[in-house]
Structure formats: C-alpha cells, structure tokens
Structure 1
Amino acid sequence: MTTLAPNRRMLMIGAASCALLPAAGALAATPEMKTKRAKPLPLAATRLRPSDYATAVERNRAYLHRLQPDRLLHNFRRYAGLEPKAEIYGGWESDTIAGHTLGHYLTALVLTWQQAGDPEMKRRADYIVDELAEAQAKRGTGYVGALQRKRKDGTVVDGEEIFREVMKGEIKSGGFDLNGSWSPLYTVHKLFAGLLDVHDGWGNARALTVVEGLGGYFERMFAALTPEQVQDVLNCEYGGLNESYAEMYARTGNPRWLKMARLIYDNRVLDPLMKGEDRLANFHANTQVPKLIGLARIHEVTGGDQLRAQAARFFWDRVTQHHSYVIGGNADREYFSEPDTIAQHITEQTCEHCNTYNMLKLTRQLWSWQPEGALFDFYERAHLNHVMSAQDPATGGFTYMTPLMTGVERGFSTVDDDAFWCCVGSGMESHAKHGESIFWEGDDGTFFVNLYIPADARWDARKAAVMLDTRYPFEPVSTLTFNRVKGGRFPVALRIPGWANGKATVTVNGEATTPRIERGYAIVDRRWQSGDAVAITLPLDLRIEATPGDTQTVAVVRGPLVLAADLGPVDQKWDQADPALVGSDLLAAFTPTDAAAAHYATRGIVRPADMSFVPFYRQYQRRSAVYFKTFSDAAWTAEEAAFTAEQARLRDITARSVDVMHLGEMQPERDHNLVSEISYPVTYRGRQGRDARSGGFIEFSMAVRPGPLVLQATYWGSERSRDFDILIDNVKVATQRLDNDRPGKFFDVDYPLPEALTKGKKSVRVRFVPHDRNSAGPVFGVRMYTAKPGAVA
C-alpha cells in the first residue's frame, strides 16, 4: 500500500514547510544552520542507562504486565454479542467512558516493545487487535467499541445507539456528554490512535483494517449531518480524531480520510487561533490541545495548510508562555484561565497530566518542522518536573492532577488498578517512551542532542553507536561518546537551555573548543572518529522565577529542576499558613546541604520558619510548597495585620451562627438530610463543596431560630458565567449569578431572609437549582446566622 506521507512517529514534512511559521522573537532562525527538518532516532534504537527515567520505564512495564487484556476487552466483546472472557475493570472502565484505556494500553504496549524490547508487549497488542477484529466482524457495521450509554430511565446499554441517534439529527450535550455517554468521541479517538500505533510499530495489517472500518463508520455518521449539526457534535470533547484521520490518509493515500480530518474542525475554538487570538480562557484545556496536534498533522501530510501550521505554533506560544505553571503543566480544574493569571490559580487541581502529555507531542511536531532550542527548553521543563512527578516509582501509580497548592498530596492511582482515569492512560504511554526525544537527526546530517538523559543509541545513517553519559540535572556535565561511527564530517548540535545565559562550555576529547551558537545549540562541526567524545557543561545555578503576570509570586529553580520546600510526609496533615519568602536577597540565604541531590537549606528568609528545599518531582509521598509570596520586611508586617483582621471577622460570624452546612462532606450531608440530582461533590483550594448541573438540584435542611436571619453561601470568585436560584421551603429568595466576580479568591454572599419564612420553625429546606444549561455553584459551604441588631435587610 502506498504511503504518501511519513507516519506520526517520524514527524517530518517537506523542506518548504519551515518557511510557513513566523519567527517568534528569540526563536528566529539564522541562515547558518542548514537543518530544515529533523526526525528522532527510532525509539527501538535507544536504550536508557540507569537513571530515574529508566526506573520509570521499568515500573511502567511491570504495570502493563499486571493489566489483563481480557478485562479491558470485556465490553468490546459483550456489546458485540460475544461472551466476555474476564470481568470488567472498575473506575472509569465501568462508566460510560469505558474503552478509552484500551487505546492507551495498545500504544503503551508498542512503545514498551520498542523502548525495552519486551516480546510480551507485542504478543499482547497483536492479541487485542485480533479480538477487536472479531468483535467488529460480529457487529457488521464497521463499529467496534466498549463505551456505554445511560438512558433516561437509568439503564446502561451499548453506547453505539447514541451514534445512530446522532445520524438522525438527535444531538444533546452539556459539553462532555453526548446523548447520555461521557465524551464518546474522545474514547473513539483513543482506539483509533492505539490501532494506528500497532500498525506503525511492526506493520500489523489487521490493525489498519480495523481502524479503516471504524473510520468508515464515523464517516457515515458525519455525512448525515448538516454543518451546524457537525459543530454541535464537535462541542463535545473529541480528542485528536482529526489527527487520526490525517494519519489514516498518510498510511493509505485515500483522500476520503483527509476530507474527514479537515471536516473535524471546531469553529468556536480554532477560528480565533487561526487569526492569532488567545481566547482560551474558560475552555477545557485537554479538549483543545489534541485539536492543534491534529491541525499540525494535517499540515504535515499535505505539505500545505499554512494557517493550520501557524495556529498550532501560536497556540503553543500562548500556552507555554502565558498559561503554564513553573513545572510546565497547565490549567486549573482542567480549564485555562485568562492569560498571565497563574498566581490566582495555584490549587490542588492544577496541571492535569494529559495536558502535558499532549503539549509534549505538539512540541515535538513543531520542533521537527524548524529546530529551535527554546522549544525543547519547554519540553525538558515539563518532562522533568511534571511527567516525572506524575508516576510513583514505588507503586507504578499515576496522578490525575499534579497539585501545586501548598501542602497538598498528589494522590496516585491505586495498586488495584481501579481508577483508570484519562491520566492513567496517558501516564502508561508517557512512562513507556522516555528515550524518544533525546537524539534527533537533521536532513543535513546534523546530530542533535535535545535532552540530557543517560542513554545508548544506534544511529544507522552513520553506522554509529553513541553513548550519552550524565547525571544531569543533578550534575552539570553531559558527555556524548561515539563508540563507533563511520568516519566523516558532520555537525553535532548540543542544546543550550535559555536559562544558561550563555555560560555553557564545550569540550572535544577533553580539550576546550569554541562551538558555533545557533538557534539555542552549541554546534561542533568536525570529522568524527570512533572514540571521540564531546561534552557540555551547563551552569546549575539557583534562580528565582516569577509567575507570568505576578512578580510577587515566585518559585525556586535550579537549572531545569523546580525545587520545593519539603513539608513532611503525606500521612502528616499540613494545616499551617502558606510559607512566604521575606527579604531583599533571597538566593543568598540558600545553602546546599547535598549538592549532588539538589538539596538546600534556607537561613532567615522563610516565614514562619526556615525550610529544606528539594527537587519537586521526587516528592512522591511528601507534601510540598512550590510557589511563594515574596515580601519586604515592612510588607510582611502589614500582611500579618490583615490576616489578624480577617480572623476577627470570621470569629464574629461564628459567634452568631445558628447552623453550618459543610457541603461535599459525607457526615454533614447526612446530618442535614441532603438529597440531590445530577450533583457532585468537589474539592478546590482545600475546600469541600458541591455543585448541581442543568436539570438537577441540591437540597438540605438547616436549623433556624426566632428573629432576623441571614443565609450565607461561599463561592469561588473566578467561576465562568452561570445562574441559579436559591429557595427556602420552595420559596425563591434569590437568583445568584457567578461571573468571575472576585478573581482569585473565595467570597461570601449574604441573603437576608424574610422573617415570615422562618417564623415558628425549627428548620427549613434550602435548595439550589441551576437555570437551564447552567450549573449551581459549586457552593463551598452554607451558613445560617443571626443578623446584627439594627441591620437593614
């Protein structure tokens, strides 16, 4: 079968494409470097040497072995009319999003077979493909899937029936659900991607046959829709389905798949990006990143679509420079906020792992078009500090979020594998491929080193065997040795991170040399021979990094490594005030206690007391502080006074309280006889709460006493626009609108109650009801208290 374009793992396009992307300030190319495009050395040609990365791969490999394919295949067989061979897994795999994990698992099997050479990985992947082919043939429609659909009467059935409804124009969604199934096209994309990776991995032709059958099924579904209905469907999360269709076109040359890739285009999100406009605030982050990966892939397989290429680069620039945290992750409660407002969103729900998994994929694509060191500066930051923090090497479990709020534990998936969040799926992929982006080769013969991770590799173009020896980022030297190489002249380009400020030094065979510096690389161009070694030394100095938009909120960084104050083990609750940094020369107060492990002690600058600083990513079962407010001595005195005044206000309210409802907590909800529909408990910034979605409600009892009373509810000030009613014993007392009222803080709203509503009663029923297509809350606590004497309602 003719392949018109390279597969996704090579990430190459024609040389002309490098002119499509506008230069981005410091990323502008200089004419000296001849590289126009580049590709990574195959993952199968790279073997990791001992390091935290190698440990992560081995823990992940053990995890993949522990998973049972037949349990992941349960619904695929059941809904095809075949007898399941094993019990279904729990967690998300028993919800309406069932099936998404299998796609990730297929990809992880391929990557682990390539990275570690484990033959069991290949055997399992081929077995799963055969099982899917059998289920697809049994259905006879091209469809194969495990997702479920919850009908209005509560029964759970085969999710395929929603697609038949969609074909008839019956489309109902609140954003993530589609006709009663949770993000079904997202789940479908995971299966597409996994099957394509098996086909790419070793040429499994049946995998491509299955994915083309599935592609034809959804082609028919979309063909039945008007353009407006297509957009209605695409308002739901659909993953990188556009990328998968573009990839199918690359594999087969069939133009119908390219047509589908272009059709799957969300106007609402992508049109502004095409125009160079950042309207990302309040959009679900991981829903958007794969769309841009898809645009980039369409550009790659066509060699054109300049606007798509520019949109992908613009999105990358905006996310990495204006929407990302110091560890490289992005989003709070899974959503983008306004640009440069990171300091207002340092919570226990920052940095969903899937977001970074996808941002790294996009980074690789953009770099392959036009190699620029700054792109891999971000990649290294996010890979080291976020991805590596998201797996517990003791258990192989994964985080969903990587919380940056002071004192919050990470929360890894369980050893019993009963979670199966989206980030478990992307986690098993991420930790299967730590060798994929270390070494690259340019179309002009340049050998690039983009990541300083100890590894051995085979470079077939030069019949070379290379070794990268390093303890970076804990030690400054990385040495690349050509253990074997076919003699000849070619450039070696070693990335110089932007934070090095030009202080990197390079040696060849132990002798100092002056490399050419271009696009963020130290380039040594010479005739290389077996045994030659080139080494780069990078300064691993401490520095303070401010958050975008708030110079007073800072983090401490050493080279590429984010440091954190160690607050103790997770089994010890952290209930103290957030530590702050006070003084005029903060770095002078840091002293290394174990430089080889990047451990530091502070002296006199941390309030309330000095602390030890350690690498953040290694704080797996420890509590951390990453972000700190900074103060002068005078400003800190004022801050303490403001805190004291707020405590006095809260004590006054407490003294007048009649009843307090702690929403989202089991016992208080039982004590107050809470009933609800389409309502969910939430935790945010250390506070428990509850919301109700469109069509649902929250209702509970609260004690009252004679006299004027006030109902008080607590909300988060940066909520997206929403409206809901508040009722007392079925009498509406207020309509509340939340619309970014008080950005970055919780706030209370008082609702004075007519005495007639509570007179002669011991308790009332409080009810929160969202307006249509809105949500109520989240509400972070409700209080009933007596009005101050003489207060005017």
Structure 2
Amino acid sequence: MRKTIITGIISFVCFYSFAQNPTYKQPVEKVSSFSQQEVVLKPSWVKDREELNTAYLKSLDPDRLLHNFRVTAGLPSEATPLDGWESPGIGLRGHFVGHYLSAVSTLVEKYQDPQLNERLTYLIDELYRCQQALGGGYLSAFPAKSFELLEEKFTGVWAPYYTYQKIMQGLLDVYTRTGNKKAYDILLGMASYADNRMSKLDEETIRKMMYTAVANPQNEMGAMNELLYKLYKLSGDPKYLALAELFDPEWFLTPLSRNEDILSGLHANTHLVLVNGFAERYSITQEEKYHNAVIHFWDMLIHRHAYANGSSSGPRPIATTPTSVTAEHWGEPDHLCNTLSKEIAESCVSHNTQKLTSYLFSWTADPAYADVYMNMFYNAVLPTQSDHSGSYVYHLPLGSPRNKKYLKENDFFCCSGSSVEAFSQLNSGIYYHDDSALWVNLYTPSEVNWKEKKVRLAQDSHFPKDKAVRFTVSTKQKSTFTLKLFIPSWANEVEVYVNKEKQAVNTSPASYLELNRTWRDKDEVTLVFHYDFHLKAMPDTPKVFAIYYGPMLLAFESNKEVVLKGNRAEELLTNLSVTDEEQARFRLVNDGNTYPLRPFFDIDKESYGVYATIRNY
C-alpha cells in the first residue's frame, strides 16, 4: 500500500511540474493506458512467459551487474565480470544494467516482490556510491574518455550515449515506479553531466555527432531525446527540454515530416528510437513537424518496410560492414523478397515498433494501430522467447528453412536487455480508457481495475488458439460506460453474447464493437470469433507469402525450403485444413505432399519456414 501511495504522489508531482511549464499544452492523448498495478495477468500461457522472464532476472547476481561500475569508479569488486557485451573492455558495458533496472522496477511496482525490491534498493545504493566516487554527476561502467573520443572523431568508440541513456532510463523507471528518491538524484546528476558536456560543443560538432546514416553507426545515441523529454515532464526544468532537442537530428526529422521515405540503408534501431523521442516531444509542445514525422514514419515502416508480422530490419542495400550484409538495416521500400536472411527482424526493433504503435493509438484510438499492435504481440514479440527455457533471440528469421538461434544467458546483447524489459510488461497495451469508455485491444487472460469507475473487468480465454473470449464485470454498484471491444482486420464474422443472450449486432473488421449500457455486477460478455485461412504476400510479389489462421501467423514444420506448386497463391487456401483445433495444428496438401503447420509462437527448437514461394513449374 505504501508503494502505491508513493507512486501516486510521484504521478501527481510529475503532472503538476509539467503543467506549470510555459510549454505545457493540453494532453494530446485521446485515450489513456492503465498503470502496471491496474492490469494483472491471470494464469495463462502469456503469464507463463512473464514468469520465465522473472525467473531469469532473479537468477542474476547483482554484484556481477555492478562489477564494471565499481571498477570504473575505482571501488573494490571481487565479483566475476559478466560476459558478452557486458565484458570489461566492451564499449556497451553497462547497458544491460539499465534494462535490468527498468524490468525489475516494473515487477516491483506490479507485485511488490520483496526479493526484487531488496535487490533494487541494493543496486541503487551501490550505483550512488559509484557516482559519488567518480564525481561531477558522472556514472557509467566505462570511463568518460569514450565521450571525448566521440566528440573529437565521431567514431572509433561504441555508442557511449546509447549506454548512458539505458542507465538513465532505468533510474527514471526505478523512481517513477517504486519511489526510490536516490535513483532520481543519480539521474539528475547524470543529466547535468550530459548537459555540461553538450554545452561546450559548437553546432557543427553536434551535427556531426548526430549524423548516423552510415552502416552500423558507432555514434548511435540511443533514445537520449525520449529520455530527456520524459525528464523534462517530470522535473519541469527547461534545460532538459533544450538538451533533448539537441538529440533530435534535423537531417532525419525534417524529411520524415515532409513524408520523404529516407529509411533505406539506415540502421533500424538507431533511428526507430529517435522517432519515439519525437513522439514524446509532440506530447509536450504539439509541434506539427514532430507529429507529422511520427505519423509518416510509422506509415512508411509498417506499409513499405515491414514483414507480415510487423517486424522489420535486415540486409542493407549497400553493405559496408559484416553485419549490414544480413542484418539490422532497412532496405528499399516495397522490396523485401530478397531480404530473408537468417538475421532479419531484430528483436529490439520489434519491441520499439510496438512502443511507437502504442503512442499513436493513445493519440488517436484508431483501430489500425490496435490491429498492428495485436499482430506484433502474437506473431513478432511472443515468438522471440523460448516457451521452455525463456531464452530470447536476437533475430527472428522468416524464410525457409530457418531456426531460432537463442541467446545464451551470458551474451547480454542489446536484445537481451530490451527483451527482459518487454517481457516484464506483457500486461501493457491490453486496456485503455477515457472518462466514459473502456477499450480492449488484446485478448489475453487478465483483469483491469478501473478505479475511477469502481469497476473491474476480467477476461478469460486461451486466445488465440481458443476462439471464444469471455468478459466478466465486477462492481458494487451500477456503472454506465461504453465497452469497446476490438474487432481485428481478420475477423469477418463475430458472434456477440451479453449474459448468454446472442446480440443482433453487426461487426466489421478493423473496428470496435461498442456496448453502451449500465453494467451490473457479474454481467458477462462473450465474443466468439470465426477464423479462416488468409495470406499476406510480399509487397514486391504475390508469389511469396505467409499464411495466417485468424490472428495466428503459421509456420511450416520443415527443414527444407518451402516451394509449392501452383499458379496463384490463393489457390492454396482450399487445400489448407485444421488437424487439431485445440492445439492449433494444420496441414497443407500440395502436389502430392503434406506440409504440417503450427502457430509461429509455438515454434521452439524445430526447423521451420514462414514465407513460402509458389511456382507453376
């Protein structure tokens, strides 16, 4: 209870500080999300994924996480250094700790887990000691000379601001989610250090530092702009607004605002997080330039650079680094057939695309954004985790034949960090509200506590394998509001029942079913979706396609390239059938061969293929 009160006080202080600023305008959000405490995952296969992630977070030794920070600060450490990208001498060391702080603070906020809360307090106390030893507000697991090299040569050092931002974001999350004031003090010191460094640079130096158009740019800035805009909202200090703007590169922002597709050749995650920062800026100043940049970018990304499941990134059209031959970059718009390497669809990119999509939904309540979010949740995000070990993938290949290459527990790659954070927040994006309506955007067993209405709404199902979703209202008094249930683009037919009585309502794909009534305790609503098979073709050819059954992207269980025979891909739909409804198992009969299929999120160690090719010879 005490943590709930503290978090509420912090929220009020944040809003009050923000509202007192001259740049403050009325919120741009049409709908609001619920807090982590207000939405609880009920036992289900999705909840199981969260628990796998939590078990991994608990398994990590905090002294090993702190080792490089202590060494950099000149403090003693007897811990064994971490491996992978957290090894001593690796430029990004410390970045995972930022993600760890964000993930653990989320779990502490939701569940008040005493073990994780104690660990979080210990980490913050020790990081504070490191910062005090270093002096000047600086805190990192690498020495400050990395920033000096960045400012002098703009390369030759591995993304110091990227890592610095991860730590700052972790501290911000610890403060706002758990009320740890020391975390906020550390954050302010780090921000002041960054402000002091940047204030000494001329415009040309800053411009060169922010130019990241080359392959795998070493001067990647991370989400410094987004973090600093959030800090401005929290603190009300205008210096953070000015500092954040320095991390908004004009060479990237201006063309996007004009709807110019400049994504080809860019390192995907370097630039995607900048757009999340643009969205934060728009929420403060409501400048049209930032709004347009965000809207246009999302449209370009989803409709011209993304695969069927909403994921993106892969080979660079002009490859100049070993990585860019196969991974991490955007290609030419509407040209995806020749990009299906074994290293496409970086997990970080999928997580940040979902984040951007949630920004846009909150602005508009447009079902088009809910549709992409649902597709990515089931078919791009959940498939990145092993449902047995809880391990994550760096890339999620969609060609054939392919295998998921799971990261080792000691790799600590960028996607290790973004994934532990994302899987601590699987209860996000399910429900939204305004003063009079409740939106349901995802169908997964959960319960939301709508405090303002004194209403709880619970949903139960085994969606998406189960086609029926049941909602139950809990309230001590009658409550009038509109329940808006998302009807996805694939849902051509939906049955609707209220208290077991079938309703004479018409639903249409990519819309909301609106039930406006005075609700009573134990009222029930049931949706029964009707699934069918449908195809999503590559933008550059209808002969390369992925197969869906309702909301589920299917994968061929095959260790061979999937090449089918026929004239048109649509002809295959008549030869697809369900072999096990409960387990969601399917088959395709083609040219005398039988191909088993299953949901992509069910694939673990098996060889598979997602995109198939059809030929008439």
Alignment TM-score, normalising by the size of structure 1: 0.70
Amino acid of the structure 2 residue aligned with 1:112: L
1:102 positional shift: 0.1
**Aligned position for 1:203:** 179
**Aligned position for 1:185:** 161
Query: Deviation string for 1:198-245 (max 9, x for gaps)?
Result: 011022111111111101111111111111211221232111100111
**Aligned position for 1:696:** none
Structure 1 residues 129 and 516: CA distance shift in structure 2, 3 A: farther
2:353 to 331, 352, 359: 359
Q: Kindly indicate whether residue 61 of structure 2 is the aligned counterpart of residue 68 of structure 1.
A: yes
1:516 positional shift: 8.1
Query: Deviation string for 1:720-751 (max 9, x for gaps)?
Result: xxxxxxxxxxxxxxxxxxxxxxxxxxxxxxxx
2:397 to 403, 408, 422: 403
Q: Kindly indicate whether residue 21 of structure 2 is the aligned counterpart of residue 3 of structure 1.
A: no
**Aligned position for 1:772:** none
What SS does the aligned partner of 1:535 have?
A: strand
- List structure 1 segments (4+ residues) > 3 angstroms apart after TM superposition: 4-7, 13-17, 114-117, 514-519
**Aligned position for 2:75:** 82
1:515 positional shift: 5.2
Structure 2 Cα separation of the partners of residues 48 and 532 of structure 1: 20
1:114 to 109, 113, 117: 109
**Aligned position for 1:497:** 488
Structure 2 Cα separation of the partners of residues 37 and 145 of structure 1: 38
Structure 1 residues 371 and 223: CA distance shift in structure 2, 3 A: same
Amino acid of the structure 1 residue aligned with 2:198: F
Q: Kindly indicate whether residue 442 of structure 2 is the aligned counterpart of residue 448 of structure 1.
A: no
1:60 positional shift: 0.5
1:517 positional shift: 6.4
What SS does the aligned partner of 1:600 have?
A: strand
Asked if structure 2 preserves the Cα contact closer than 8 Å seen for 1:465 and 1:485, the reply is: no
Q: Kindly indicate whether residue 111 of structure 2 is the aligned counterpart of residue 129 of structure 1.
A: no
Bigger share in strand: 1
**Aligned position for 1:146:** 141
**Aligned position for 1:546:** 537
**Aligned position for 1:588:** 574
**Aligned position for 1:39:** 32
**Aligned position for 1:426:** 418
**Aligned position for 2:306:** 324
Structure 1 residues 483 and 141: CA distance shift in structure 2, 3 A: same
**Aligned position for 2:251:** 268
1:142 positional shift: 0.9
Query: Deviation string for 1:511-551 (max 9, x for gaps)?
Result: 22355869721110000010111122222111111112221
Structure 2 Cα separation of the partners of residues 131 and 431 of structure 1: 26
Structure 1 residues 217 and 605: CA distance shift in structure 2, 3 A: farther
Structure 1 residues 581 and 80: CA distance shift in structure 2, 3 A: farther
**Aligned position for 1:714:** none
Which region of structure 1 is more displaced relative to structure 2, 288-297 or 470-479? 470-479
Amino acid of the structure 2 residue aligned with 1:438: I
Structure 1 Cα separation of the partners of residues 507 and 184 of structure 2: 44
**Aligned position for 1:222:** 198
Structure 1 Cα separation of the partners of residues 355 and 307 of structure 2: 18
Structure 2 Cα separation of the partners of residues 400 and 496 of structure 1: 32
1:486 positional shift: 3.6
Structure 2 Cα separation of the partners of residues 165 and 289 of structure 1: 25
Asked if structure 2 preserves the Cα contact closer than 8 Å seen for 1:544 and 1:556, the reply is: yes
Structure 2 Cα separation of the partners of residues 171 and 447 of structure 1: 52
**Aligned position for 1:163:** 147
Matches within 5 A, 1:231-380: 231-235=207-211, 236-302=219-285, 304-332=286-314, 333-380=327-374
2:473 to 470, 474, 482: 482
Structure 1 Cα separation of the partners of residues 15 and 374 of structure 2: 32
What SS does the aligned partner of 1:73 have?
A: helix
Asked if structure 1 preserves the Cα contact closer than 8 Å seen for 2:561 and 2:609, the reply is: no
Structure 1 residues 581 and 191: CA distance shift in structure 2, 3 A: farther
What SS does the aligned partner of 2:525 have?
A: strand
Query: Deviation string for 1:125-151 (max 9, x for gaps)?
Result: 22211111111111111110013xxxx
Amino acid of the structure 2 residue aligned with 1:525: N
**Aligned position for 1:604:** 590
Structure 1 Cα separation of the partners of residues 522 and 25 of structure 2: 34
Q: CA RMSD in A?
A: 2.0
Structure 2 Cα separation of the partners of residues 257 and 117 of structure 1: 31
Asked if structure 2 preserves the Cα contact closer than 8 Å seen for 1:243 and 1:297, the reply is: yes
Number of equivalent positions: 577
2:502 to 508, 512, 525: 512
Amino acid of the structure 2 residue aligned with 1:523: E
Unaligned runs of 5+ in 1: 8-12, 18-35, 148-157, 174-179, 568-573, 637-793
Structure 2 Cα separation of the partners of residues 328 and 121 of structure 1: 33
Structure 1 residues 357 and 130: CA distance shift in structure 2, 3 A: same
**Aligned position for 1:625:** 609
Q: Kindly indicate whether residue 46 of structure 2 is the aligned counterpart of residue 53 of structure 1.
A: yes
1:531 to 500, 522, 530: 522
Bigger share in helix: 2
Structure 1 residues 514 and 212: CA distance shift in structure 2, 3 A: farther
Structure 1 residues 540 and 390: CA distance shift in structure 2, 3 A: same
Matches within 5 A, 1:608-757: 609-631=593-615, 635-636=616-617
Unaligned runs of 5+ in 2: 1-9, 19-23, 212-218, 315-326
Asked if structure 2 preserves the Cα contact closer than 8 Å seen for 1:516 and 1:523, the reply is: no
Amino acid of the structure 1 residue aligned with 2:54: R
- The percentage of counterpart residues that share the same residue type is 29
Amino acid of the structure 2 residue aligned with 1:506: V
Amino acid of the structure 2 residue aligned with 1:430: A
Structure 1 Cα separation of the partners of residues 564 and 250 of structure 2: 44
1:630 positional shift: 1.7
Structure 2 Cα separation of the partners of residues 291 and 350 of structure 1: 21
Structure 1 residues 162 and 450: CA distance shift in structure 2, 3 A: same
Higher relative contact order (CA 8 A, sep 6+): 2
Asked if structure 2 preserves the Cα contact closer than 8 Å seen for 1:509 and 1:532, the reply is: yes
Asked if structure 2 preserves the Cα contact closer than 8 Å seen for 1:171 and 1:232, the reply is: no
What SS does the aligned partner of 2:469 have?
A: strand
Query: Deviation string for 1:543-594 (max 9, x for gaps)?
Result: 1111122211111001121001102xxxxxx4x4443253552111112110
Asked if structure 1 preserves the Cα contact closer than 8 Å seen for 2:565 and 2:590, the reply is: no
Amino acid of the structure 2 residue aligned with 1:89: L
Structure 1 Cα separation of the partners of residues 141 and 170 of structure 2: 14
Structure 1 residues 206 and 406: CA distance shift in structure 2, 3 A: same
**Aligned position for 1:700:** none
Alignment TM-score, normalising by the size of structure 2: 0.90
Structure 2 Cα separation of the partners of residues 196 and 6 of structure 1: 16
What SS does the aligned partner of 1:500 have?
A: coil
1:115 positional shift: 4.0
What SS does the aligned partner of 2:328 have?
A: coil
Asked if structure 1 preserves the Cα contact closer than 8 Å seen for 2:564 and 2:614, the reply is: yes
Structure 2 Cα separation of the partners of residues 630 and 349 of structure 1: 23
Structure 1 residues 6 and 350: CA distance shift in structure 2, 3 A: farther
Structure 1 Cα separation of the partners of residues 197 and 76 of structure 2: 28
Structure 1 Cα separation of the partners of residues 399 and 112 of structure 2: 39
Structure whose alpha-carbon radius of gyration is higher: 1
1:6 positional shift: 9.2
Structure 1 Cα separation of the partners of residues 518 and 44 of structure 2: 31
**Aligned position for 1:745:** none
Structure 1 residues 628 and 452: CA distance shift in structure 2, 3 A: same
Structure 2 Cα separation of the partners of residues 183 and 47 of structure 1: 36
